[in-house]
Amino acid sequence: MSKDHEHIKELFDSDRIRAPESLSEENMLAMLNAAEEKQTAGESVSREERNYIPARAKARPSLKRWIAVAAVAVIAVFGISGLRDILTAPPDTTPAGNELYTFKSENEIERLLRSMDSTPRFRLFKPGLGSADEELVEYETEDSGATTGVAGNDAVPKSAETAGHSETYLQVDEVDEADIVKTDGKYIYYVTDSREVVILSAKGGKTRKLSTVGSSGIENYIEDIYVKGDRLITVGTVYRDDSDESSSGIVVYDISDRSKPEVLFDFSQTGSILSSRMVGDCVYLVTNDYVYRGGRTVPMCGSAKELKGLGASDICCVPDPRTTSYIVLSAVDVSSGEQGRSATKAVFGASDQIYCNDRNLYCTSMEWPDDSGAYYTRIVRASLDGLRVKVNATTKVRGSVDSQFSMDERDGYFRIATTSNRAGIDVNNLYVLDSELREAGKVTGFARNESIKAVRYIGDKAYVITYEAIDPLFIIDLSDPASPRIEGEVKIDGFSTLLVPVSKDRLLGIGHATGDNGYGGEYDSGLKLALFDISDPSEPKVLDSKEFKDMSSIAQYDHHALMVNSDEGYFAIPYEVWDYSDIEDSEEEGTEEPEDSFDTGVLLFKAGDSIGPVDRHSLDGSSICRSVYIGDWVYALDADGNAKSFRPSF
């Protein structure tokens, strides 16, 4: 062994390369001994360790000799430079392509960054996904029988049933989502366009400004908020004087005295905010953190004044990462004391959407693994249990997701709807994955030449809206995860972007009316409401629809703008209308100063067996962004932080 080792060392020296410490005789012997001892004791031996133990090895001297011969063989075949490339290559993750790799050191991360800078780019694995017109990525399927997930949502979200005041419209019950407005029935908390939080008392249609939470030297740009009891949690971007780099974080305020909010503690992490959720006392914050070779290589977290680098053991990597960025996921206990308790994990990869229930958080991002034109959605799952966060699974499916509503988990199965491209034609798919994120079942290739615009899962049914020129609603039966099937469909002009369960037999669609532009295409002609009868899944029907010309609403693309009053049985959304008819008329008449008109307010409506009555409240001022109800009164909030109130006329 010594002679062989000396020969290898001489080869390194002749090429003026310093042999790495990992190839010292002592380290090689230690690695060999450890692998042999594990095998002798009957313990599990890793793939890397098995590489050091030849088949049928009987005696240690022969093993040592084999190691030396193998090293010399590598040099003979690849040369010193080839061996150097092997030693400095990124960590070999998973040729199978569906496992996560946990880094052992920051040096490994630096090697990965170097490899991604090279041309052509080094790939950690090549999954062999096939051509663009292939139906989908094939995975081994297995019915695990696991029941680790949560049940699907009821027909009407519980968050909409709270008596006395409205709550943020949520995708998953008991999983709060940050928004620009919150109310607890006594106070309204609202993020204005100036990124300050205004706290208003509200009673009997009257409001009074109590205080303003702005830049406290910690957080300069507030995006969203949570309210839990006497705690206000702001979510935003932090700009530090001592750094050119911004971070993202939360600040927790004591608001037991609403007129004098006091900072309790803050938490920050590097990267830009993707989204967040609050389950119980924990806020889960997700950021995309871009890094580059020669700069910072690991995510950082801590207080805004003192961020510390994350240890390699808390960072893992997706197979064949497409971008030099991290998904950073932190759990912060907002009920804890002044110091604030938290835990942070990171995944080398990127994300653009998240789905979260009370047990798991899923991040997705698009990937283009080759030049075929095919694209995929990478899925990364983390389990949640208070401050215990564990990134534990990853996979990919063909296509891209439309929004967080494209995803759902029920009875241990994760369901995801995507739009993909097959031979230049858009098609749509729904995959069912088991508790190991292996494919259990699928429906693929439906609604050719169309793309998904809205999805809603209710129990063991998925309701999918696709669109090109008309708006088909597909009902997909998921009661057998191994054999999902399209049960029924119905078509209507325009398309919905938000599907809202009204009852077990009714589904409301909020979206866009469309018209013929005269050139063989469509244009957005206004707001459209559609009411579907889903009592017979095999034959869904359009019960009613209403169009509002030139009207738009934030609720068409942000579900938080929908307000639901289940007690009184009505819905409300903010609206805007720009009327250009005066401009067109004036131009025809040759008037030099044409005028347009602008109207903003809140549109209230009911949805039973039809849509209506409709109660349109026009309100002067800047654009209305949100509305909440407290008791009999509706409070509309504009971009400047002003509150205007009215009583519905139903």
In the structure, what pLDDT confidence band is assigned to residue 470 with cuts at 50, 70 and 90? confident
Tokens of 412: 């241990």
pLDDT given for residue 442 in this prediction: 97
How far is Cα 472 from Cα 433, in angstroms, rounded to an integer? 25
Q: In the sheet where 101-102 sits, what is the strand order?
A: 101-102, 315-317, 341-348, 325-333, 282-290, 272-279
Better pLDDT: 204 or 520: 204
- Report which secondary-structure segment, H or E, holds 243: none
pLDDT given for residue 33 in this prediction: 52
79 φψ region: left (φ > 0), alpha (ψ -120 to 50), beta (else): left
Contacts of 512 (CB under 8 A, 6+ apart): 494, 495, 497, 524, 525, 526, 527, 528, 556
CB burial of residue 371 (10 Å; 0-12, 13-18, 19+) = exposed
**What is the DSSP secondary-structure string of 44-112?**
---HHHHTTS-TT---HHHHHHHHHHHHHHHHHHHHHHHHHHHHHSPP---TTS---EE-S-HHHHHHH
pLDDT given for residue 133 in this prediction: 31
In the structure, what pLDDT confidence band is assigned to residue 27 with cuts at 50, 70 and 90? low
Distance set, CA 362 to CA 10, 391, 497 (Å): 51, 10, 22
DSSP tag of 179: B
232 φψ region: left (φ > 0), alpha (ψ -120 to 50), beta (else): beta
How many other CB atoms sit within 10 Å of the CB of residue 69?
Answer: 12
How far is Cα 396 from Cα 224, in angstroms, rounded to an integer? 30
In the structure, what pLDDT confidence band is assigned to residue 67 with cuts at 50, 70 and 90? very low
Over residues 175-221, the pLDDT tens digits come to 999 999 999 999 999 999 989 999 999 999 999 999 999 866 666 79
Over residues 595-648, the pLDDT tens digits come to 568 999 999 999 999 999 999 999 988 999 999 999 999 999 998 889 999 999
- Cβ-contact 1, 65 below 8 angstroms: yes
pLDDT given for residue 581 in this prediction: 61
Tell which residue, 210, 213, 212, 211, has the closest CA to residue 236. Answer: 213
How many other CB atoms sit within 10 Å of the CB of residue 276?
Answer: 25
Q: Looking at 335-344, 401-410, 468-477, 540-549, which range is the least confident one?
A: 335-344
- Report which secondary-structure segment, H or E, holds 600: strand 597-607
- Among positive and negative, which fits the CA dihedral 467, 470, 475, 476? negative
Tokens of 102: 């946990």
How far is Cα 160 from Cα 144, in angstroms, rounded to an integer? 34
How far is Cα 565 from Cα 571, in angstroms, rounded to an integer? 6
Over residues 70-105, the pLDDT tens digits come to 444 444 444 444 433 333 343 333 334 578 999 999
Q: What is the mean pLDDT of the chain?
A: 81
Dihedral angle over CA of 10, 13, 17, 19, nearest 10: 40
How far is Cα 207 from Cα 201, in angstroms, rounded to an integer? 5
Mean pLDDT, residues 561-569: 95
Dihedral angle over CA of 127, 131, 135, 140, nearest 10: -20
pLDDT given for residue 51 in this prediction: 43
